[in-house]
């Protein structure tokens, strides 16, 4: 995930870069608007963070120029100003969100994740080349109507080639965009997956479709298939609508970040498996870095304070120049934006007051010099109270000492687990290993390893954290044990007698029932040849023995979250955030079954956006997507379980209302329809504003029909009439 940070405050650049890097983002920085514009036009970014007040080209004009140039990258504006007019100007210029300094880093991370999720899933076109068809919405690949079973990496490679049929991709580019930070960065891994993809394509008749461009990389061979194109499931969008390569990177990187998102929970429980395991040491290191940054930039902070003091002195003697006044305004602006991030919110508020007074026309009014002098003096006292060693703990132990202590504890835990000791009563001093109590179903893991000692040591390492383990020493019994264990994840040893873990993995990846299960390998060997074999067989990850508990638990948690997010891709519409047609259809069937058992009525409503096609033609599909997104947000805010929501394409939304007669449904939906019609949208090209009509029709169960299909048909006829 690549982010462009445009900020002219040296201290804030360093602070935000460290903060974002700690969240596993790649961060490029620019110190003025023109450099930022050049970066944004030269490199594909997933997100742009820009200050409003920048030298050479301010953030609002930068945003306008990017949008007028066709840039659709999400933009987050950051500024120390609180004026609502600035927020309105920024949003009207095309920004996606707005934050006010001093930034709350947790809020910043949450907003960054939210903006990245908005663009992480491309529209749901079918990618077709001849008889080959790839459906991104369901992650299914077929050739001549028959399913093609691919590993996750093979699927992503094929999708990358189909979306960009003329482009050559180097191994380095593929590694950067299709491999996560915890995967081994080996270029040979790309070669192995390309080989596996070629073999599977060849097996179904697509021979030599992936071309090796000597010395450069790989591409889809020109001329393969009868025709190449992209067909939309809804509107017939052709090749020009295909997202650019950053869409692929965004989608895969979204999987990397899912474990840090507050609203992306494990499909097995309403509580994330490891919400703080990997973040706690990172947060501690970041706290230490914050203290170090304060020490490093204390001189710069003092310089800014000196400018304010000079401004007050000049104001008192009547020698204040316009140049010094402007410099003081800039100094106050910088202090307002950064002090609060060092736990000095009062200092930021004081600096903001000073900035407003300095930039106001009443600075020369009687008594203003005393008022400003008092504010600057109070600000100086606030800054002096910031400790020079902010990273010291109250007990005198630095964060580095604590991290070193944690490392020692981790080694002790690993040694104890290898010795078969019970870790439930082991004196673990750090909370990062304390998992929340599981809610609902536990996580089930099947471990296949021929070493009983290792299996015995692994159980007390995992079970205290809510993980149910099934162990198997004989790999030949795997297929008998698998249905009973019903695991969410597999741990396989590489070297086992007669049947290796690699051979077992290859068999699993060809089984239609279990081929999608995440597989982690455990191996005592980390030679490149072994790693290549592991990933070529379809593995998701691997760990070397002896296993360290922290690493194993983190890998398990991350992998389960990635699978959950992939499942979301196939069941949720990317623009509205609502369940898609297949998913909501199943929910509607369950609703009708419940109403039938209780002999009660229910209603199915169809809400249709009649002008969607016209909006797409007149203003562009990006505006149509914004309208769909707004409607989806309003529907989600209006309805909650047990109501059923769904987006069925072509501007058509469905709502299932359980145990509600038609008369009540009409009154209820009338208010919603009015709210939808009152929404005002702005066209980006000419700034014109428009509203959208909402057509509503309702069918009642069982009077108008007893199945979802019959109710939909009855309601749909009402919309058309």
Tens digits of residue pLDDT in 696-710: 999 999 999 999 999
CA-CA-CA-CA torsion sign (113, 117, 118, 119): positive
The pLDDT assigned to 186 comes to 56
Structure tokens, 459: 């159980």
Distance CA 387, CA 406 (A): 25
The pLDDT assigned to 20 comes to 86
pLDDT surpassing 70 at residue 271: no
Range with top average pLDDT, 255-264, 317-326, 520-529, 683-692: 317-326
- Please state which of the ranges 35-44, 90-99, 444-453, 586-595 shows the lowest mean pLDDT: 90-99
Q: What are phi and psi of 520, to 5 degrees?
A: -110, 135
Share of the chain above pLDDT 90, in %: 14
**DSSP per position, 115-149:** HHHHTSS---EEEEETTEEEETTTTEEEETTEE--
pLDDT surpassing 50 at residue 492: yes
Tens digits of residue pLDDT in 281-292: 444 555 665 666
Structure tokens, 234: 């809804």
Distance CA 106, CA 681 (A): 30
Tens digits of residue pLDDT in 195-206: 899 999 999 988
Tens digits of residue pLDDT in 332-371: 877 776 676 566 777 877 887 888 888 777 787 777 888 8
Average pLDDT value for residue range 256-273: 30
Q: Where does residue 498 rank: exposed (0-12), middle (13-18), buried (19+ CB within 10 A)?
A: exposed
Tens digits of residue pLDDT in 116-138: 765 443 334 578 888 898 887 56
Spatial contact of 491 and 451, defined as CB atoms under 8 Å apart: no
Tens digits of residue pLDDT in 68-84: 777 878 898 887 655 55
Confidence of residue 233 (pLDDT cuts 50, 70, 90): very low
Question: What is the separation of C-alpha 479 from the centre of its chain, rounded to a whole number of angstroms?
Answer: 36
Q: How many helices (H) and strands (E) does the chain have?
A: 25, 23
pTM: 0.34
- The three-point CA angle 204-207-212 to 5° equals 135
Buried residues in 572-611 as b, exposed as e (16+ CB within 10 A): bbbbbbbbbbebbbebbeebbeebeeeeebbbbbbbbbeb
Structure tokens, 46: 């997933």
* Helix (H), strand (E) at residue 521: strand 519-523
Distance CA 686, CA 329 (A): 35
pLDDT surpassing 50 at residue 622: yes
Nearest by Cα to 656 from 718, 598, 599, 607: 607
User: Which domains are assigned to the chain?
Assistant: 2-117 (3.40.50.2300), 125-242 (1.10.10.10), 284-384 (1.20.120), 401-559 (3.40.50.2300), 581-720 (3.30.70.270)
Tens digits of residue pLDDT in 397-440: 333 343 334 344 444 444 444 444 444 333 333 233 333 333 33
The pLDDT assigned to 137 comes to 58
Q: How many CB atoms lie within 10 A of CB 130?
A: 15
pLDDT surpassing 80 at residue 268: no
Average pLDDT value for residue range 375-392: 68
3-state SS, one letter per residue, for 408-437: HHHHHHHHHHHCCCCHHHCCCCCHHHCCCC
Average pLDDT value for residue range 288-302: 73
The pLDDT assigned to 548 comes to 64
When comparing pLDDT for 63 and 224, which is higher? Answer: 63
DSSP 490: E
Structure tokens, 627: 């309208």
Q: Is 563 helix (H, G, I), strand (E, B) or coil?
A: helix
The pLDDT assigned to 117 comes to 65
């Amino acid at each position: 995930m690549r982010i462009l940070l445009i900020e002219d405050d040296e201290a804030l650049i360093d602070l935000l870069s460290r903060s974002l890097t700690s969240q596993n983002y790649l961060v490029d920085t620019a110190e003025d608007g023109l450099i930022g514009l050049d970066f944004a036009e030269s490199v594909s970014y997933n997100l742009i963070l820009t200050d409003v007040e920048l030298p050479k080209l301010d953030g609002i004009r930068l945003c306008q120029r990017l949008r007028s140039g066709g840039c659709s990258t999400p933009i987050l504006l950051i500024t120390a100003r609180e004026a609502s007019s600035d927020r309105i100007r920024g949003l009207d210029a095309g920004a996606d969100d707005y934050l006010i300094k001093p930034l709350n880093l947790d809020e910043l991370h949450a907003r960054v994740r939210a903006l990245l999720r908005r663009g992480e899933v491309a529209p749901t076109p079918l990618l077709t080349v001849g008889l080959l068809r790839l459906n991104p919405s369901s992650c299914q690949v077929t050739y001549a109507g028959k399913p093609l079973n691919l590993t996750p990496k093979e699927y992503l490679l094929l999708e990358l080639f189909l979306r960009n049929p003329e482009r050559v991709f180097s191994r380095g580019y593929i590694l950067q965009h299709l491999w996560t930070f915890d995967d081994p960065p080996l270029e040979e891994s790309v070669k192995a997956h390309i080989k596996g993809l070629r073999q599977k394509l060849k097996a179904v008749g697509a021979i030599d479709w992936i071309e090796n461009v000597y010395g450069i990389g790989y591409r889809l061979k020109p001329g393969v298939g009868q025709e190449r194109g992209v067909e939309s499931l809804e509107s017939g969008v052709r090749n020009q609508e295909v997202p650019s390569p950053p869409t692929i990177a965004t989608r895969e990187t979204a999987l990397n970040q899912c474990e840090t998102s507050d609203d992306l929970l494990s499909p097995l429980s309403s509580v994330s498996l490891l919400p703080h395991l990997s973040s706690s040491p990172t947060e501690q290191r970041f706290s230490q870095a914050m203290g170090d940054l304060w020490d490093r930039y204390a001189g710069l902070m003092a310089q800014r304070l000196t400018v304010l003091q000079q401004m007050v002195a000049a104001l008192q003697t009547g020698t204040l120049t316009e140049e010094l006044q402007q410099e003081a305004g800039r100094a106050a602006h910088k202090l307002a934006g950064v002090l609060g991030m060092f736990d000095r919110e009062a200092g930021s508020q004081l600096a903001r007051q000073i900035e407003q007074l300095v930039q106001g026309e009443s600075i020369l009014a009687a008594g203003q010099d005393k008022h400003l002098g008092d504010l600057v003096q109070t600000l100086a006292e606030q800054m002096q109270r910031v400790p020079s060693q902010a990273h010291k703990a109250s007990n005198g132990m630095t964060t580095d000492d604590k991290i070193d202590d944690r490392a020692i504890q981790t080694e002790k835990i690993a040694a104890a687990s290898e010795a078969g000791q019970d870790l439930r009563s082991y004196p673990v001093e750090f909370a990062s290993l304390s998992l929340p109590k599981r809610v609902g179903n536990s996580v089930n893991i099947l471990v296949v390893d021929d070493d009983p000692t290792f299996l015995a040591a692994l159980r007390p390492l995992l079970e205290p954290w809510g993980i149910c383990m099934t162990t198997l020493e004989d790999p030949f019994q795997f297929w008998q044990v698998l249905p009973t264990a019903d695991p969410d994840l597999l741990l396989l040893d590489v070297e086992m007698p007669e049947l290796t873990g690699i051979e077992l993995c290859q068999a699993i990846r060809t089984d239609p029932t279990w081929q999608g299960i995440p597989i982690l390998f455990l191996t005592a060997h980390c030679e490149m040849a072994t790693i290549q074999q592991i990933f070529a067989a379809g593995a998701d990850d691997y760990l070397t023995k002896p296993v360290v508990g922290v690493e194993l638990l983190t890998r398990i948690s991350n992998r389960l979250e990635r699978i959950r997010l992939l499942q979301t891709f196939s069941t949720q519409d990317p623009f509205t955030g609502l369940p898609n047609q297949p998913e909501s259809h199943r929910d509607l069937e369950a609703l009708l079954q419940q109403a039938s058992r209780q002999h009660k009525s229910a209603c199915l409503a169809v809400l249709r956006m009649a002008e969607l096609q016209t909006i797409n033609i007149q203003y562009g599909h990006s505006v149509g997507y914004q309208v769909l997104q707004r409607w989806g947000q309003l529907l989600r805010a209006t309805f909650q379980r047990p109501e059923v929501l769904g987006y069925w394409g072509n501007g058509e939304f469905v709502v299932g209302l359980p145990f509600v007669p038609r008369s009540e449904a009409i009154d209820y939906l009338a208010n919603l329809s009015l709210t939808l019609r009152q929404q005002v949208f702005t066209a980006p090209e000419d700034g014109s504003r428009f509203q959208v009509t909402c057509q509503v029709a309702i069918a009642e169960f069982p009077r108008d029909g007893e199945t979802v299909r019959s109710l939909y048909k009855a309601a749909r006829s009402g919309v058309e009439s």
